Structure 1
Amino acid sequence: MNIAASLLMCLIQGTVLFRDDFDDGDAEGWHEISMVNYDVVGGMYRMYGGYEENHGISFNGDLEGCMSTPDYSVRCRMVPETGVFFGMMCRFSEDTEYRIMLVLSHQHQSLRFYRWDAAGISLLDDAPFTVELMHEYWMRCEVRGDSFRGRAWTGGVSAEPFLWMVEMQDTLSLPGSAALFCAGIPCDRVSMSCRFDDVMVTDCPAGLRQDTWAGIKETGRRTGRR
Structure 2
Amino acid sequence: MQLRRTHRRALAAAFTAGATAAVLAAGMASSASAATVFSDDFNDGDASGWSKSGGTWSVVTDTSGVFQQSNAGSELTRQFAGQTSWTDYQVQARVKPLSFGSSSSLVGLSARSASSTKMYRLALLGSGQAELQAVNGSQITSLGSASVGAAAGSWYTLRIETAGSTIRGFVNGTQVGSGTSSLASAGRIGLVTSYASGSFDDVAVDSSGGTTPTTPPSTTPPSTTAPPTTPPPTTPPPTNPPANWPTPTGNYKVDATIDVPVSLDGGLKRYYGIGDGGQGESQDPMFVLAPGATLRNVIIGAPAGDGVHCEGNCTLVNVWWEDVGEDAATFRGGTTYTVDGGGARSASDKVFQHNGGGTLYIRNFRVESSGKLYRACGNCSTSYQRHVVMDNVTATSTKMLAGINTNWGDTARFSRITILNDPNRTTRICVKYKGVPKGSEPTEIGEGADGTNCLYSTSDIIWR
Q: TM-score, normalised by structure 1?
A: 0.73
Change (3 A) 1:119 1:200: closer
Q: Structure 1: how far apart are the matches of 2:51 and 2:183?
A: 23
Shift of 1:111: 1.4
Which consecutive segments of 4 or more residues in structure 1 shift more than 6 A?
A: none
1:181 corresponds in structure 2 to 192
Change (3 A) 1:30 1:8: closer
Aligned match of 1:40 in 17, 36, 59? 59
Name the count of aligned residue pairs.
181
CA contact (8 A) 2:91 2:159 kept: yes
Q: Structure 1: how far apart are the matches of 2:182 and 2:149?
A: 30
Highest Rg: 1 or 2?
2
1:56 corresponds in structure 2 to 77
Greater fraction of residues in helix: 1
Deviations 1:171-217 (A, max 9, x none): 12131100011111xxxxxxx310000000001256xxxxxxxxxxx
Shift of 1:166: 1.1
Deviations 1:22-77 (A, max 9, x none): 0000000100012x1110001000112154x302100101xxxx155301000101
Q: Describe how 1:92-171 pairs up with structure 2 within 5 A.
A: 92-94=113-115, 97-107=117-127, 109-153=128-172, 161=173, 164-171=175-182
Aligned match of 1:20 in 40, 44, 47? 40
Q: Structure 2: how far apart are the matches of 1:123 and 1:181?
A: 16
- 2:71 is paired with a residue whose SS is strand
* Matched AA of 1:195: S
Deviations 1:78-108 (A, max 9, x none): 11011221111111033x743221111122x
RMSD: 2.4
Identity of aligned residues (%): 24
Aligned match of 2:99 in 82, 92, 100? 82
Structure 1 residue runs of 5 or longer lacking an equivalent are 154-160, 185-191, 207-226
Structure 2 residue runs of 5 or longer lacking an equivalent are 1-20, 211-464
Shift of 1:120: 3.0
* Matched AA of 1:199: V
CA contact (8 A) 1:13 1:205 kept: no
Change (3 A) 1:7 1:129: closer
Q: Structure 2: how far apart are the matches of 1:174 and 1:7?
A: 22
CA contact (8 A) 2:107 2:197 kept: no
* Matched AA of 2:124: L
CA contact (8 A) 1:13 1:73 kept: no
1:221 corresponds in structure 2 to none
Q: Structure 2: how far apart are the matches of 1:139 and 1:175?
A: 19
2:353 corresponds in structure 1 to none
Change (3 A) 1:38 1:13: farther
Q: Structure 1: how far apart are the matches of 2:26 and 2:193?
A: 31
Q: Structure 1: how far apart are the matches of 2:44 and 2:186?
A: 29
CA contact (8 A) 1:103 1:112 kept: yes
- 1:165 is paired with a residue whose SS is strand
* Matched AA of 2:208: C
Where relative contact order (Cα < 8 A, 6+ residues apart) is larger, the structure is: 1
Q: Structure 2: how far apart are the matches of 1:105 and 1:73?
A: 21
CA contact (8 A) 1:144 1:204 kept: no
* Matched AA of 2:108: G
Q: TM-score, normalised by structure 2?
A: 0.37
Deviations 1:125-174 (A, max 9, x none): 11121111111111111111001001112xxxxxxx3x523111011213
Q: Structure 1: how far apart are the matches of 2:46 and 2:27?
A: 33
Q: Structure 2: how far apart are the matches of 1:6 and 1:111?
A: 18
Change (3 A) 1:32 1:125: same
Change (3 A) 1:70 1:80: same
Q: Structure 2: how far apart are the matches of 1:7 and 1:46?
A: 24
1:195 corresponds in structure 2 to 199
